[in-house]
């Protein structure tokens, strides 16, 4: 089963101020892309494509945006604390301030849901 390593300091962003959901996801995608050498537009497209299917907010101020990408061979993750919290269309209507973002290789899609859970 494919897994990802612990987050390093460069994978953690604290008190990121944004204007809303799209702004937050754009900034997170840019940082992930810069760190991994991926195209930031491709990363954002993947994350946003999934977000359009339904909010990745799970409640209690937490969101888990994610994307399956052909351009990576191992998982990539980041943790972001937003300040202030933003509307993420959460099922409990609470604004989100904790965002765990996960990029997963499309070639390993069968292992994604077990790892996410």
Question: pLDDT per position in the chain (117 positions), as tens?
Answer: 555 566 888 999 999 999 999 999 999 999 999 988 999 999 999 999 999 999 999 999 999 999 999 989 989 999 999 999 999 999 999 999 999 999 999 999 898 888 888
Asked about 66 being catalytic, the answer comes back as: yes
Is residue 5 included in any domain, yes or no? Answer: no
Question: By the 8 A CB rule, do 46 and 64 touch?
Answer: no
Number of structural domains (the chain) is: 1
Is residue 3 included in any domain, yes or no? Answer: no
What's the predicted TM-score (pTM) here? Answer: 0.91
Is residue 83 included in any domain, yes or no? Answer: yes
- DSSP per residue, 26-88: HHHHHHHHHHHT--HHHHHHHHHHHHHHS--EEETTEE--EEEETT-SS-EEEEEEEEEEE--
* Domain CATH number, residue 88: 3.40.930.10
Annotated catalytic residue, options 21, 27, 31, 66 = 66
* Cis ω for the linkage preceding 84 (within 30 of 0): yes
């Amino acid at each position: 089963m494919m897994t990802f390593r612990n987050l390093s300091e460069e994978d953690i962003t604290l008190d990121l101020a944004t204007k809303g959901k799209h702004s937050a996801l754009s900034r997170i995608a840019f940082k992930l892309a810069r760190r991994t050498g991926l195209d930031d537009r491709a990363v954002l497209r993947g994350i946003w494509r999934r977000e359009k299917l339904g909010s990745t907010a799970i409640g209690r101020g937490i969101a888990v945006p994610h994307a399956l990408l052909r351009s990576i061979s191992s998982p990539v993750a980041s943790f972001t604390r937003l300040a202030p919290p933003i509307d993420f269309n959460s099922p409990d209507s609470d604004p989100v301030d904790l965002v765990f973002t996960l990029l997963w290789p499309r070639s390993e899609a069968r292992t994604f849901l077990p790892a996410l859970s």
